[in-house]
Structures are given as structure tokens and as C-alpha cells.
Amino acid sequence: MKTITGTQIRQTFIDFFVEHGHTAVPSSSLVPGGDATLLFTNSGMVQFKDVFLGTDKRPYKRAVDSQKCMRVAGKHNDLEDVGRDDTHHTFFEMLGNWSFGDYYKKEAIAWAWQLLTEVWGLDKNRLWATVFKDDKGNVPTDEEAAGFWRNQPGFLKENVLYFGRKDNFWEMAELGPCGPCSEIHYDRGIKYCDKQDQPDHVCHVNGDCARFLELWNLVFIQYNRLSADKLEPLPATHVDTGMGFERIVSVLQDVSSNYKTDLFTKSLDVLRSLTGQSEKEMLADFTPYRVIADHTRSAAFLIADGVVPGNVGRNYICRMIIRRAARFGTKLGLEEPFLARVAEAVISTYGSFYPELEKSRGAILDNLTREEVRFARTVETGTAQLQNLLDGIRSDKGSKNKSGNQAAYILDGRRAFDLYATYGLPFEIARDIAREQGLDVDEAGFRAAMDDHRLASGGGKAMGKMGGEDAEYFAGILKDFQKKGELPNGVEYDPYLPTQITGNLLALIMDGRMVDTASVGDQVSLIIPKTDFYIESGGQVSDTGYIRAVDGSWEVEINNVRRPSAGVIAHVGEVLLGHPKAADPCVAEIDMPRRHDIRRNHTATHLMHAALHQVLGPHAVQAGSLVAPDRLRFDFNHPEAMTPEQIERVEKIVNDAIAADMEVISKLKAREDAIAEGAMALFGEKYGETVRTITITDPLRAKDAVKQEDLIAFPTAAVEQQEKYSYELCGGTHLDRTSDVGMFIIVSEGSAATGVRRIEAVTGRGAYELVARRFKALKQTAAALKSSVEEVPQKAENMQDEVADLKKELSGLRTQSALSTFDLQLANVQTIKGVTVLAVEVPNADADTLRALADKFREKYPSKAAAVLATGTIVISVITEDLVKEGLKAGDLITGIGGRGGGRPNMAQGSLPDSTKVSETLAKTGKAVEEKLK
Ligand SMILES: [Zn+2]
Ligand SMILES: [Zn+2]
């Protein structure tokens, strides 16, 4: 079988189904949108769930995708197996084709067969199919699917097998859409069976050994479950298929482990280059390599989807897998942070199909290294403490063992939690260490302890339920307030006209639970009845600031604001002074200079968006943006790099718009109306029925466009009629007038992804600082050039000319000096078969000098003479005309001594292979002449 790369396999899958009328749909994020019951996307099904439930519609009826999945928490948790074997992963890809009320069993089976056997060339005799036969006898046997299988060309009719509910019936949940499924298994041959030594092992499909691999599961959704024993047929039937990508790659590349496919080659190569181990040494103890390669891949994909290391929920998982990978690194002797190096390999392997990896390269590498450094600071103390506890258990073991107390082998879960809370040693790592010593950690106890501290989520029953983050917890707090008649409509949010807001501190939350008071240095969340702090959205970052007691007795620095659940806004920060207490009257104050910088950047973003449309065309729509205090970043669709002229024009148009002192007007409108009027809405953004619009208008243009009397009679209508410079749907905070932007400078323009460009720019204070810094550098350059600032370009150009002249002069002097010593060397000729031969190395010369010397040689020896002259690797050879007539060529001498080159018959130029062995090479000249004269 010819080796096909993983990337090619993924692409052939997608191409095959696109050819059969499917729409290629991108993978959805690892963080499931709008599904609080799920921590991570764990199958291809997740993004289409609502389509099957009938609550969502798509513009296509057939889809194909490769979905990013994580199984590292909750019901589907493969973490414990990762590293120990060759098939488990925390992150993996699922290939799938989908029919939403379109084709059904016949096509799904025929296409699966065609792709596997014709496109990928798998041996037809090794493929098996399973179909559903109810072990409870309530649901009809899927003879339909069995029949289609037996009809496939070359399919062995006896290779259809029947299995019951556990293997071949699929249900989305206890109630709802469900149906039989049909799995395709591949027989890798008896040598792959890893259970041959088990006497009760039946080596067959679903026999649970490594010989028979389930490649593909075709799910046929045809029923709706109404109760435990009541099914009704669905009006429309669907197909949902899933193929484990890593597994099919291992089969098509014919390797015994997913980790031996080319999906992991680059990561493992980087790791081996760091450990210095050979491939054989690596395979002898493959576990740490597998863990690191798997976990780094997961962490890279998580961070690219916005999940960074942290203490709760998904963020905890991200932290845990990074730390676990780092610990396995120490087993390989890797002490310094190294995961970023491995992540580079992951990005290089996957970046072309998953552009978010390339886009987040910086964030991925930074987060990995930062987390490794953080972990390294505490891990030693943490593991030492753990070791003490484990030693204690072991010394107790003898005595307690007599009484048969099994618990003695197990570390108390609460103690394990203390290790996490104090030293950042995640449970999973504590368990790894304990198990390496034949002991274990009480997981239920750990989870209970975590729940008590409310680090866990959603009222936190178990870590597996952390999917809702702390949404349920905060929703519960709100409910309690509402019972007391407070916050009837939730926390009031109005970020647009900030004032100092006063009110009572309603709740103080620390480590995920409500506390009465806190002290200096504590990280806390504060809830007050009303806030004007902006909450990050639409690319604009959150406000920061302070919440202080009205009497000045305490102060909390707020560095983030978030909305953990509907109606609740939490101000997150650190106590700087005193002891904040619930019910204290307090005042919230935004960092206004920072807010003002953000407003400048946001209004400038809108101006630039409009300018890009003017310069590049209407296709240059926003594809992403960041509005921060120090800069703005704007991604937009455009197929090629902008020219320097285009960049200059955009910058000029924006600065003209700033100087025009236009008005920035915000208005609430019905979404339909705003869009009908041409307001720019962002693709993929969800808008409510009422939207906020930002209009930037030019009062000068307005004067011409609108009659004066209209302006007086209907001031609002008049504004509506003005030609709008920019009109967007936007919830951000903006300036009142464009002139407040001050100045706008584009710092960089580059590629963000295929077909997407990225501009970074600064405004206001940031622009001033940039200009000041550059002006200072220019002044320093002027001083170094001993010129005025205005003269710098001319002076620099003059200097370049001067340098060129000097180089030329130097070359002339070199020739002269070489010529004067050449007279001496001219005597060192040898005579071979009547020919005068000279071979000389000339130090510090160039090709021109060599040519001048060659002429001099021919002057002195006008007949029957040949010379080879070299400097560094440059070589020139000359021969006299009479030798040319005898059939000799100058170029033959260069090739004769092992060089390369050519030219005219009497003079040739070329290069020698090794500049350190010039004299050895030249020594071969005599022999070369002798051979060519034969
Ligand atoms: Zn077997
Ligand atoms: Zn905006």
C-alpha cells in the first residue's frame, strides 16, 4: 500500500462526499455553543443536535466534516488510558457525513463501501459489517441495512453480523431521536490480536482485541422515543456517521499504533531531539512520549478555541493536561519548559486544515510556557508533600492490612484536594504518582472537596458536570436575592454613560463561595445592584477600575467583569485595602483614561472598516477584531497583501475623517430596519430583535444634503437622511466625535489566515507614543549621520553611493596588489607534455582580479599554456588559442579538478566545492591537463 498522509486522508474523505453533493462544513469549536450540559464537544453530532431535534435549520441537506472532539471529562473520559495504549486520545478528530431528511441507508452504505474499497483500496475480504437485531425483541431487525451490505460489489455475504442494543442502537438521550446503527469493522489479521493468551478470548468482531477495528459507525435516525418502551417513526429519516480519524490513518498507513502515524511524527521528532533518545529507545518506553504528544495537541487546540489554563471547568482541564504533560517531561529528563516546541510541531501538522491554530500561535506558545513555569514553581513541594502522605499510607499498610482494611491503600480525597488548592497539583497527577507506587487516590472524596470549595461548576456535583462553569451557582445567588425582593430584573447594566455608581455590596464571592468578608490580597468577585463597567464583547475588552467603600475603609481593584449567568454581573479583582464586607455601601469607578483609549480605538475601527471598503472594495468585511486600550486589531476578508500605497491611503482617509470632526451617533433600532438601511452586520454574530447602531456622519455633507428648514422641523429625520460615513450594528462604547481619536497610525498589515488580512493600528496616546519613539530614533539617526532630520534620506542615499564607490576602489587596489605579487608566482609553472601550466590561489581577490591576472598570464605565455586561478571558491581557467585548436577547452580544466562551471573555449569561470581545500584541489591541475591532452 502506498503511503498516504493523514492530511490527504482527511481531504479525500471530504472531497469524496463533496463530489456526492455534500456541503463541507467546518468543525465547530471544542467549546459547545449554547450547550451547558456538555463540557467539550465530544462527537460530530454536537453541532447538528438541534437540526435533528428540529429546532434548527441549515441551508443544506447533506454535510461532511471533520470535527474536533475532546473526551477528557464526564461520562466519556479517556484520560486514564491515554499514554498506556496506542489508541486512546484526549483530543481526536471525527470524520462524518450527514443527511438531514435526505438520503438514507442505501446511499450511506454504498458510499461507505466505495470510499473504503475503491478510493482507499482496503481489502474487501477483511471488512465486516454489523447491523441491529433487538436482544429485547421489541424493535424490528434492520434487515434493510443487512440487505444493502450483501449487495455491495465484492462484499462477502457471510460478513454481515447481528448485534443488540449495546452495540447497534443509538440514542441521543433517554427520549428523542434514535435508531439502529451499522458498524464497519476491519480485520487487521491475527498478528494484531493482543489477547491470544487469554483462554476465554473469542477473536472476532466486537471481541475487544486489537485485531478487529471498528472503523466507521453509520447511524440511521428513524424513530422518536416517547417513553422507555414506546417508539414512533420520525416523519423524516436522517444519517449521522462517525469515523475515528486517527484510527483510519493508522490502518491506511499500516502502522500498529495511532502514535506511529504521521499525525504524531513531527511532535515525537521534536521530543526526541530534546531528549536525545533514538527511536528504539523511545519505543522501549513509549508512554511518556505518547502522553506528551497527546496532551500538547489537546492543549494547543483548546487554547486556539479560547480555553486557557485556569482553576474551574474547562480551564481546569486545560491546566491539568498541560501539567500532566510537563510531569511526564520530567520523566524524560526535560526540566526546562519544552511544550511550546512540541506545540510548534502540532501547529505545523494541523495548521493548514485548522487555521485557528496558526491564528493563535502566540497565545498557544505563551500559555504553555507560562503554565509550565507556574507549575515548576510549586510541583516539587507538592509532590514532596504527596510522597509524605503516600509513605504514611504504606507504613500503616502492614498493621491495617491484617484487619483487611482496603481503604488503607487509598489516599484520602480531601487531602488530595488540599494538594491541588495549595500546590496546584491536579488530582489526575496525584493519582498518576500514587498508582506508580501501587496506591490510589479517592476520586469521589476529591470531587466532594472540590464541590465544597465551589471550584467546581454548576452547583458542582462532580467534575464531569463542570460544563456550565459556575452558571448555575450564580443563577442560584440571583434567585436567593429575588426571593428577598432584591434585583428583580437582575443586575442593571448600562455601560454607555459611565458615572460613579453607588450602591450596597450585595455579594462577595471567594474561591467559588459566598463569604462575609475578605482581606488584602484575596481574589474576589463582587456583585452590586448596577454597573457601568463594560463586559467584553464584540472584540472590545472589559473595563477595569475600582470598587471602594463609601467611607474609604476598603478598596478592590477590578481587573475583569463577566456575566456568569443571565442577570448576574461579577466584578473580579483583588482586595487592595481593608476588609470588604457584604452590605457595605460602596462606589464603583471605571478607569476612565483606559476607557477613553478603548473608545478611541473602537471608533477608529469603524472609520477604518469604512476606509477599507473605499480603498479595497465592499468584499473587505470584518472577520474578527480586538479593541484594547493600547491598540486595535482588525481582520478582514481580502485575498492578497495590501500595497504600501493602499495602506497609506487607508491611513490618510481615516485621519481625514478624524479631522472632519464627524458626529458619532448611537441609536436603538429594529434589526430588520437597520439592515434594510444598509447597516453593516457581522457574519456569524447573533443579533436580537432590537439592535444598537453606530452611525458616523459628516455634518458638512449633511448641510448640503438636507434643507435647512427640514433640519429645524425634523432634526432626527434630517440626521437619518445624511450620507452616512459609517453605519454598523455595534454594542461597543464610542466617542461622541471623531476628532477625539486624535491620530491613527497603522502599525502592521499581514496575513491572519487564508484570504484574511490583519491590520494592527494605534490611536490617541498610543499613536503619540509611537510617533515620539520613532521621531527619537530618527533624531538619533540624524545625529549619527551628522545631518538634520530632513536631510536623513538624502544623506543615507549619499552614504550608500559612497560605500559602493569605496568597494569599487578597494577591488581595484586588490587587483593591483595581486598583480604585483603575481609576477613572482608566474615563475612557478610546470611543464606537462610541452604545455606550460600554472595553478595559483590568490587570496582576497574577486572574479575581476582573477580575469586581469589571467590576461597577464597569457601575455607572458602566448602559446602552449594553461592556467587555473582561484580565490575562495571562485575559479577561472584560461588556455592559449593553439591549445583550443588542439581540442582542449578551458572549462575542462575546472571540471577536471572537481569544480563546476563553463564559458568560452579559451576562458571559463566556475566554482570549487570546498573553500577550505582550494590548494588540494588546484594541485590536481597538472593531472587534468595531462588527461585532456590524451
Ligand atoms: Zn483477538
Ligand atoms: Zn463596533
Tell me, what amino acid is at 618? P
What is the Å distance from ligand 1's center to 66 Cα?
A: 30
CA angle 686, 689, 695 (to 5 degrees): 85
Closest listed ligand to the CA of 212: 1
Q: What pLDDT, in 10s, does the model give residues 494-529?
A: 999 888 889 999 999 988 788 888 888 888 999 999
Q: What are phi and psi of 79, to 5 degrees?
A: -55, -45
Secondary structure class of 348 (helix, strand, coil): helix
Distance from the alpha carbon of residue 542 to the mean position of ligand 2, in angstroms: 14
CA of 403 from ligand 2 middle (Å) equals 70
Q: 202 CA to middle of ligand 1, Å?
A: 6
pLDDT for res 473: 82
Is pTM beyond 0.75 here? Answer: no
Residue 20 burial (10 A CB sphere; 0-12, 13-18, 19+): middle
Residue type, 294: D
Query: With 90 as the cut, is the pLDDT of residue 169 above it?
Result: yes
Q: How far is the CA of 168 from the centre of ligand 1 (A)?
A: 21
Q: What is the pLDDT at residue 35?
A: 62
Average predicted confidence (pLDDT) for the chain: 87
Alpha-helical regions (H) of 465-538: 471-483
How far apart CA 338 and CA 873 sit, in angstroms, is 41
Task: State the ligand closest to the CA atom of 696.
Answer: 2
Cell of 664: 458619532
CA of 195 to the centre of ligand 1 (A): 5
- Could you tell me the distance, in angstroms and rounded to a whole number, from the CA of residue 727 to the centre of ligand 2? 10
Report the separation in Å between the CA atom of 282 and the middle of ligand 1, taken as the mean of its atom positions: 27
Q: Which residue has the cell 592556467?
A: 867
Q: In this predicted structure, what is the pLDDT of residue 685?
A: 59
Provide the β-strand partners of residue 627.
540, 632
Most confident listed range (146-160, 415-429, 613-627): 146-160
DSSP element (H, E) containing 547: strand 545-549
pLDDT of residue 168: 94
Q: How far is the CA of 295 from the centre of ligand 1 (A)?
A: 29
Contact 13, 340 (CB under 8 A): no
User: Angle at Cα 805 formed by Cα 804 and Cα 811, nearest 5°?
Assistant: 90
- At residue 7, the pLDDT reads 95
277 pLDDT exceeds 80? yes
Q: Are 187 and 126 in contact (CB under 8 A)?
A: yes
| Short-list 561, 677, 681, CA closest to 609 | 681
Distance between Cα 199 and ligand 1 center (Å): 11
Whole-angstrom CA distances from 419 to 374, 414, 449, 875 are 15, 9, 11, 71
pLDDT tens sequence across 41-65: 988 988 888 888 777 788 899 999 9
| pLDDT score for 571 | 95
CA of 112 to the centre of ligand 1 (A): 25
d(CA 568, CA 480): 12
Other residues' Cβ atoms within 10 Å of the Cβ of residue 196: 12
Q: How far is the CA of 87 from the centre of ligand 1 (A)?
A: 16
Instruction: State residue 589's pLDDT score.
Output: 94
How far is it, in rounded angstroms, from Cα 564 to Cα 758?
Answer: 31
Rg of the Cα atoms in the chain:
37
Please name which ligand lies nearest the alpha carbon of 608: 2
pLDDT score for 736: 94
pLDDT for residue 236 is more than 90: no
Q: What integer pLDDT is reported at residue 293 of this predicted model?
A: 97
d(CA 632, CA 648): 17
**What's the pLDDT band for 401 if we cut at 50, 70, 90?**
very low
Instruction: Pick the ligand that lies closest to the CA of residue 730.
Output: 2
pLDDT attached to residue 329: 95
User: Which pLDDT score, from 0 to 100, does residue 647 have?
Assistant: 96
Closest CA to 663 of 591, 744, 706, 607: 607
**Which ligand number lies closest to the CA of residue 195?**
1
More confident site: 54 or 453: 54
> Which ligand has an atom closest to residue 193 CA?
1
* Average pLDDT of span 394-416: 64
Residue 80's pLDDT band (cuts 50, 70, 90): confident
Report the alpha-carbon angle 605-611-612, nearest 5.
90
Interatomic CA distance for residues 544 and 308, integer angstroms? 20
**pLDDT, mean of residues 100-105:** 94
Give the pLDDT confidence score for residue 704 in this predicted structure. 46
pLDDT at 701: 56
Q: Would the pLDDT of 715 be above 60?
A: no
607-635 per-position pLDDT tens digit: 999 999 999 988 888 888 899 999 999 99
pLDDT band with cut points at 50, 70 and 90 for residue 466? very low
- What is the pLDDT, as a whole number, of residue 397? 59
pLDDT at 456 over 70: no
CB neighbour class for 517 (10 Å; exposed up to 12, middle 13-18, buried from 19): middle
Q: Which ligand is nearest to the CA of 206?
A: 1
Determine the distance separating the centroid of ligand 1 and the alpha carbon of 115, expressed in angstroms: 26
Bridge partners, residue 839, by sequence: 868
Taking a 5 Å cut-off on Cβ, the residues next to ion ligand 2 are: 730, 732
DSSP-derived secondary structure for 200-231: T---STTS-SSSEEEEEEEEEEEEEEEETTEE
Q: How far is Cα 255 from Cα 4, in angstroms, rounded to an integer?
A: 12
Cell of 467: 460544563
**Interval between CA 608 and ligand 2 midpoint (Å):** 11
Q: Which residue has the higher pLDDT, 422 or 64?
A: 64
**Sheet containing strand 865-871, strands side by side:** 830-832, 835-841, 865-871, 874-879, 907-911, 900-903
Q: What is the pLDDT of residue 194?
A: 87
Residue 59 Cα to ligand 2 middle (Å): 28
Which ligand is located closest to the Cα atom of residue 622?
Answer: 2
Contacts of 642 (CB under 8 A, 6+ apart): 616, 650, 749, 757
- Ligand at minimal distance from the CA of 680 is 2
Most distant CA atoms of the chain, gap in Å: 118
